[in-house]
Amino acid sequence: MDKKSKKFLEEYLNNASPTGFETSGQKIWLEYMKQYSDTYITDNYGSVAAIINPEKEYKVVLEAHADEISWFVKYITDDGYIYVARNGGSDHIIAPSMRVNIHTEKGLVKGVFGWPAIHVRTSDKDIVPTSDNIFIDIGCSKKDEVEKLGVHVGCVAVFQDELTELNGKYLTGRALDNRIGGYMVAEVAKRLRENKVKLPFSLYLVNAVQEEIGLRGAEMISRKIKPNVAIVTDVCHDTSSPLYDKKKQGDQKCGLGPVLTYGPAVQNNLLKMIIQVANKNKIKFQRAAASRSTGTDTESFAYSGEGVPSALISLPLKYMHTTVETVSKEDVEKVIELMYHFVINLKSGHDFRYIK
């Protein structure tokens, strides 16, 4: 990771981009992508695609999602406490004692998820965080005081946090799911430009919104682009960290390389091609199997239009949907390499159908 990439990664990751309110992150990403692409498109809900060779007919997509989980302000009490609703798969268990930024038209308002002291709890079971009982305190004692700060029902709150490293080997922070994906896709474009690669097709580097609430942004932009082939990148669970169950959740581990998923939405000829590229370039990878759905934007691309050959390249991640999501820097590099080599190996017009 050179200085330029690192600076971008930090800026992009430390910015908040909650589902439905991704614009600030999308602007950072698109601004960075301009130097590595020829043009871009945007859509009504905020998904963006930076495009290399927009004039070619055969369209290839590399995609990540831009949004992150957050909390909606749902109810403000008369004495100024704020109750919340989940926006995406936000985790109430980890909320107490977290600091948040509430996004308002008057700017960011700082708050904390409060919690009763251990002294007043008779056992660990008598009060546990639930999505209904967690609350934010922004230092106000009346509802109108809260409103004067610009906080109203419908504002979103995001945990405060920033990117750090562990042992020089791991990146840790909030919303690596999936802004690290946006970073990896950007890095592919950067390398194509730096290595002066001339592609025989259009390459759409897509950063989709609204993945966390049901893969919606990808659904929309896929219909707009109508790609011939799509590679989606997202994170998956490192099931080797404590308290996971490999029998239930499969066997993926940080540091062992990209994870390739088998599942109905994954087009097998495309997956085979990715595996060939991995083997040829000595990129170690792991395998996962999805029952029915991968739960990623892969489905959105695969099932759009007449069916788009799609595949998923995942980055193993520990502690998903916490503020300490953790990934191996080496895995990040390997996912970038795999996508890069896939793109430079692919021929324009490749027909992935099983029966011709």
Give me the least distance between CB of 212 and Zn ion, in Å please: 5
> Which is closer to Zn ion, CB of 62 or CB of 215?
215
Give the integer Cα–Cα distance in Å for 245 and 53.
45
Q: Can you list the alpha helix ranges (DSSP code H) found in 281-322?
A: 297-302
> Which is closer to Zn ion, CB of 70 or CB of 222?
70
Site residue total, Zn ion (CB under 5 A): 1
> Which is closer to Zn ion, CB of 278 or CB of 335?
335
State whether residue 218 is helix, strand or coil. Answer: helix
Q: Read off the amino acid at residue 354.
A: Y
* Residue in 336, 341, 347 with CA at minimum distance from that of residue 313: 336
State whether residue 144 is helix, strand or coil. Answer: helix
Give me the least distance between CB of 68 and Zn ion, in Å please: 8
Give me the least distance between CB of 143 and Zn ion, in Å please: 33
Q: Does 22 bind Zn ion (CB under 5 A)?
A: no
Give me the least distance between CB of 307 and Zn ion, in Å please: 25
Nearest position to Zn ion, beta carbon: 177
Site string for Zn ion, 239-278 (x = CB under 5 A): ----------------------------------------
Site string for Zn ion, 291-310 (x = CB under 5 A): --------------------
Site string for Zn ion, 127-166 (x = CB under 5 A): ----------------------------------------
226 backbone φψ class: left, alpha, beta (φ>0; ψ -120 to 50): left
* Residue in 12, 106, 112 with CA at minimum distance from that of residue 67: 12
Give me the least distance between CB of 113 and Zn ion, in Å please: 20
Give me the half-sphere count of Cα atoms (radius 13 Å) on the Cβ side of residue 54: 10
> Which is closer to Zn ion, CB of 236 or CB of 343?
236
> Which is closer to Zn ion, CB of 237 or CB of 341?
237
Cα 318–324–329 angle (5° rounding)?
60
Q: Can you list the alpha helix ranges (DSSP code H) found in the chain?
A: 3-14, 23-33, 143-148, 176-194, 216-225, 246-249, 268-280, 297-302, 329-345
Note whether 217 and 46 are within 8 A (CB).
yes
Q: Which two tokens stand for residue 203?
A: 């390459």
Query: Is the bond into 14 cis (omega within 30 degrees of 0)?
Result: no
Give me the least distance between CB of 316 and Zn ion, in Å please: 14
Give me the least distance between CB of 175 and Zn ion, in Å please: 9
Give the integer Cα–Cα distance in Å for 175 and 51.
25
Site string for Zn ion, 165-204 (x = CB under 5 A): ------------x---------------------------
* Residue in 274, 314, 287 with CA at minimum distance from that of residue 298: 314
> Which is closer to Zn ion, CB of 177 or CB of 297?
177
Q: Read off the amino acid at residue 353.
A: R
> Which is closer to Zn ion, CB of 202 or CB of 252?
252
Give me the least distance between CB of 214 and Zn ion, in Å please: 11
> Which is closer to Zn ion, CB of 212 or CB of 331?
212
Give Rg (Cα) of the chain.
21
* Residue in 169, 188, 286, 173 with CA at minimum distance from that of residue 231: 188
Give me the least distance between CB of 14 and Zn ion, in Å please: 18
> Which is closer to Zn ion, CB of 86 or CB of 191?
86
Binding residues for Zn ion (CB under 5 A): 177
